[in-house]
Amino acid sequence: MKIAFGGDHAGFTYKQQIITYVQSLGHEVKDFGPFSDASCDYPDYVHPVALAVEQGDYDYGILLCGSGNGIAITANKHQGIRAALCWNEEIVVLARSHNDANILCMPARFITLDEAFKFVELFINTSFEGGRHQNRVNKIACV
C-alpha cells in the first residue's frame, strides 16, 4: 500500500514516528512535509497530499496537525477526497466502513501517540462496506 503523509508543525513529531511505524508494516510512504517543527502553513503540505491521493498515486493520506480541523477542511476542498477528522477508534472505523474516507486526519494535541498508531492501523485495515453507504458516498462530490 502507498500512503502519503503531511500536516503542520504541531503534527510533525507524531508524523515522523508514524511514518517509521507504517514503513515497519511494509507500506510505501511519501512525506510531503513539513520537515521540521518550525511554524508553517498546513495548506502548503495538505494540498499536495490530497492531490496525490485524488490522482490515485497513493492509496491513502495521513495528515496531522494540532486540532485536525485545518487539515481536514483543506483536504476536503478536493473533489475526490473524503478526509475524516478522527479522535477515537470507533470514528476511524466508521470513517472507512461507512464514508470510504481516503485521508485520515488526526489532532496531535488531543490524542496520544499510541492512539495515533492504532488509528492508522484501523484506517488502513478497515474496508468500505459499500451497500447502502455507496449511494451516500456517491452524493458527496459537488460536480
50 in a structural domain: yes
Measure the CA–CA gap between 138 and 135, rounded to whole angstroms: 5
Q: Does residue 143 belong to any structural domain of this protein?
A: no
Q: Which of 9, 27, 47, 98 is catalytic?
A: 98
Residue 45 pLDDT? 98
142 is catalytic: no
Q: What is the pLDDT of residues 33-45, one digit of tens each?
A: 999 999 999 999 9
- pLDDT digits over 42-66, tens only? 999 999 999 999 999 999 999 999 9
Spell out the SS3 assignment of 40-98.
Answer: CCCHHHHHHHHHHHHCCCCCEEEEEECCCHHHHHHHCCCCCCCEEECCCHHHHHHHHHC
Residue 74: pLDDT over 90: yes
Structural domain boundaries enclosing 78: 2-138
The total number of structural domains in the chain stands at: 1
Among the options 65, 78, 86, 105, which is catalytic?
Answer: 65
Q: Is residue 87 part of a domain?
A: yes
In this structure, is residue 15 part of a structural domain?
yes
CATH number at residue 119: 3.40.1400.10
